[in-house]
Amino acid sequence: MDCHIHPSILSADFANFERDLQRISSADAVHVDVMDNHFVPNLSWGPAVVKRLREVSPLPFDVHLMIEDADRWAPEYAQMGCESVTFHAEAAQAPIRLARSLRAEGAQTGMALRPATAVEPYLDMLSELDMLLIMTVEPGFGGQAFLEVTLPKIRRAAEAIAGSGAQLRLQVDGGITEETIVRAAEAGADTFVAGSSVFGAEDLSAAISALREKARTV
């Protein structure tokens, strides 16, 4: 299957971001988690840090906004040149308008759903998206175990995407390892965020290749 691997720099060495971005250059994009300690109980970095990292990255940026007031802040990340910007449905007041504003700024637009958020209310807006992100852990912290309970939702989302004719990727984020990536791919996901399973390896490029090969066996 066609698959994309997006290592999450939430698991990188914070003192050596530029080095670690180079070490994952064989990936398809880098996943950048922006957290505000309000929407999720953790704090990472904001626009200034993301803008600077984007300037030194060899990879496109897949920005995942785990923040309140996504309608206000998401366009700023598109304006700074981030190639893909994902907001949470739970944090958007007007998700269709926000998706269109991100596209107008030249970014691909993604929408994320927490594990317990149903996908069905959002199926009519699939054509407004370039990516749908199904969280496979509760957002906020890296290193969590994959939630098997999310697999039926991934399957339903994949079936809806196929039936709609919309061209968008189905991303999963949380607990992705060489074992769980197979189950997520079997359920229909094609884009995989991996943090500790990549940055915890001695050879980051080999870890990325191993994940990609596992997903392609489906």
pLDDT in tens, 88-143: 999 999 999 999 999 999 999 999 999 999 999 999 999 999 999 999 999 988 88
Nearest CA-CA partner of 100 in 118, 119, 82, 127:
127
Q: Cite the active site residues.
A: 33, 173
Domain extent at residue 121? 4-216
**Residue 77, both tokens:** 């990340």
Reading the block at residue 183, the tokens are 């189950």
Residue 169: strand pairing partners: 131
For residue 19, with 0-12 CB atoms within 10 Å meaning exposed, 13-18 middle and 19 or more buried, which class applies?
exposed
pTM for the predicted model, two decimal places: 0.96
Which CATH number fits the domain that encloses residue 33? 3.20.20.70
Residue 141 is predicted with a pLDDT of: 83
Average pLDDT of the segment spanning 30-52: 96
Residue 44's pLDDT is 95
Q: How far apart are CA 116 and CA 44, in angstroms?
A: 23
Name the residue among 95, 77, 79 with its Cα closest to residue 32. 77
Query: How many domains are there within the chain?
Result: 1
Contact 111, 86 (CB under 8 A): yes
| CA distance linking residue 205 with residue 201, whole number of Å | 9
Structure confidence by residue, pLDDT tens digits, 83-94? 999 999 999 999
Query: Is the model's pLDDT at 184 over the cut of 80?
Result: yes
Rg (CA), the chain: 16
pLDDT at 147: 97
